[in-house]
Chain A
């Protein structure tokens, strides 16, 4: 697989699967205002995934569309990190998962806005503004959960304990990343890894939450080795296009 295509696909899949999980809350949020706010976040991320998939399809150059990539690839062909596919049994999981993603992506897309791939740089520049707001929203909820009630603190801490083992993968670098860094398409996570971790640590600390120590980090998503959750996410997401091959919607 072409490195450029693979690099874009990983970004796109992270956004797509993240958004797919977020949109389950629409109509079921903890109260109306927050339902709408989280849906706004889902919409931004879904929009970004479409732009990234369109661009990835173009770079792949074999006539496929964004929808082909979204709806006609199988479990092993999706290259998102394991973090984004994790289920969110309560709202604390959603907020903790999202604040980790937002804080990481904010750093990542700032770097990507300098990409030599003009289209990617453009998508990144647009995304920075969106993610800045997402982080503001999710981090304010971390404060509320951490400092709100005993129950909310406990739930947030549980989610953090469960999800932290999926954060190591965000910072992994393989030959595709190295190719992208060397060619000015992608960026090195090393540029911001330390400041990102400090930012999160400070946020959790000020909210009476603790990042678990000595966590054994999970890996594999970036290369298509997923948790079992992804299969169900795709089965749901892809049901119609797979049942009606050749149809347009």
Chain B
């Protein structure tokens, strides 16, 4: 059988909306694209534990502490589902972690912004998870089976995250004047970084074309961004907060809001390591990995002893 036949089978499956599975033939670029995208996604979940995790010990009520702890834990779980999905494509978790730790792999730029106040944690739940969910709902129908199944599980589990963030934001926005101004400040600082999460504009997005063709992605960056703005503006209005962008205005013709472009120069810098917390985030991950080395070595040595005993018995 020639390669061309395999490619035809692959294309036919895509055309029929069928899933591609780990053992199926797939073009090298499809595999590469998936490994890059899924591992980035996994890294984003793991690094994403840090900005919110920063407030677990300082959560202002027992309830909010429990909820935040559960939420950050979920993110770790989601990272794990995604790492294993990527591993089904023939890359090891070690290789992926190494790429993260040596800055070869990217992760979502949003997590390089600091959580300065408790309201930032609420803003992340509401805005960042809101934006992430939009992307993830789309990815449930992605063409690669293990990725799709991971996303289905993740979406099910994430459904409480955004509500949790908005609830926390509501308490602040309707709380004391100090709480309200904390909420406004968080919204102002997280608005544009959240819009950047959908990636560069379609006309400048190098990976978007293929991703849509292969049905890895099903909507473009700009489409998702517009939908997010349309959904979020009324939520801001309900909170009684000021809009974070003076150019947000309803546009009847496009049945959506106009809004300012994020600062794409800033985006590129944050992606390339110059964001406010890139170094801190990476150090935290590298340190956890290094400090865990003896723990993993102990577990491996103990497992070997158990195996040897079984063999000897």
**A positions within 8 Å CB-CB of B:** 20, 23-24, 26-36, 39-40, 42-43, 46-47, 49-50, 53, 66-67, 70-71, 90-91, 143-145, 147-149, 151-152, 155, 236-237, 239-241, 244, 246-249
Contacts and interface: CB of A to CB of B under 8 A. Distances in A.
A237 B57 contact: yes
A57 to B, nearest CB: 11
Contacts of B179: 244, 247
Given A30-B288, A33-B80, A239 B58 contact: yes
Contact of A30 (B56, B61, B73, B296): B296
Contacts of A35: 76
A50 B73 contact: no
Nearest to A237: B57
Q: Which 5 A-B pairs have the closest CB atoms?
A: A30-B292, A148-B298, A152-B298, A30-B295, A240-B60
Given A20-B57, A50-B66, A144-B299, A149 B80 contact: no
B292 A29 contact: yes
Nearest to B305: A147
Contacts of A239: 58
B298 A151 contact: yes
Interface in B268-312: 284, 287-288, 291-302, 305
Contacts of A32: 46, 76, 79-80, 83
Contacts of A247: 60, 175-176, 178-179
A48 B82 CA distance: 32
Interface in B16-45: none
User: What's the dominant secondary structure at chain A's contact region?
Assistant: helix
B77 interface: yes
Contacts, number: 138
Which of B56, B72, B296 has the most C-beta atoms of chain A within 10 angstroms of its own C-beta?
A: B56
Interface residues of B, number: 48
A34 B294 CA distance: 14
Contact of A90 (B57, B72, B175, B291): B291
Interface in B117-161: 118
A7 to B, nearest CB: 20
B64 interface: yes
Contacts of A30: 288, 291-293, 295-296
11 contacts: A32-B80, A33-B80, A39-B73, A50-B63, A144-B298, A144-B299, A148-B298, A152-B297, A236-B57, A246-B176, A249-B61
Interface SS of chain B: helix
A148 B299 contact: yes
Contacts of A149: 294, 297-298, 301
Nearest to B42: A32
B186 interface: no
Given A39-B73, A67-B61, A249-B60, A31 B49 contact: no
Nearest to B117: A240
Nearest to B284: A28
Contacts of B176: 244, 246-247
Nearest to B47: A27
A177 to B, nearest CB: 26
Contact of B287 (A28, A36, A66, A143): A28
A43 B302 contact: no
Nearest to B83: A32
Contacts of B64: 249
A43 B298 contact: no
A237 B58 contact: yes
Contact of B53 (A27, A46, A71, A155): A27
Given A28-B284, A49-B62, A148-B297, 6 more contacts: A26-B76, A39-B73, A66-B62, A148-B302, A149-B297, A244-B176
Contact of B58 (A27, A33, A70, A240): A240
